[in-house]
Amino acid sequence: MAWQLPGQGKKPAGGAGAQPGFSAAVVRLSQDLASHKESDTPGVKLHVDPNDMLHPTFELTPKEGYWKGATYKFRMDYPKSYPIDAPQITCLTKVYHPNIDFTGRVCLNILRADYSPVITLTQTLIGMLHLFYEPNPSDPLNIPVAKLMETTISQFEKNVKSSLRGETVDGQSFPKLLS
């Protein structure tokens, strides 16, 4: 079923036109949701509460790479000024990653320096998948993890595996995501 704004499909009172009471952000996000296909973002499950559209969540499960098979939960916060301003993404699952810090902040270039109002929800989710398939230690948010990835890849791989098993790495405790 295609995504619709709450009350969409009903005749608007007072003539044809935009849905009254909906912000530009909600209208644009509704358009993004209507055109989003889960097949475009394999390994991502999107959850949207129609009563709180500006704060969707998603689960990301990489099919390959260092974090293969683990599931990470994220929250997206769309400002009322969307699409002029980019959404913020927070990782709700602690992860050992060069582009995600231990508080959950995410460094994704298409939501910062390379942001443009034409970037859609689907493109943002693809960008998040890309962070897990090809992490970018050259544009880090977690600098010690990025430095280790650049200098000693074998130790970086061991630390990722340990973190996925729920062990403590560099003084940080991680949830057990894999056996």
Active site residues: 107
Residue 60: which residues within 8 A CB-CB, separation 6 or more? 43, 44, 71, 72, 74, 128, 129, 132
CB 159, CB 168: distance < 8 Å? no
Cβ atoms < 10 Å from Cβ of 167: 13
> Using CA atoms, how far apart are residues 108 and 49, in angstroms rounded to an integer?
24
Residue 13 sits at φ, ψ, to 5 deg, of -70, 140
Per the DSSP assignment, residues forming a β-bridge with 91 are 74
Residue 155: which residues within 8 A CB-CB, separation 6 or more? 148
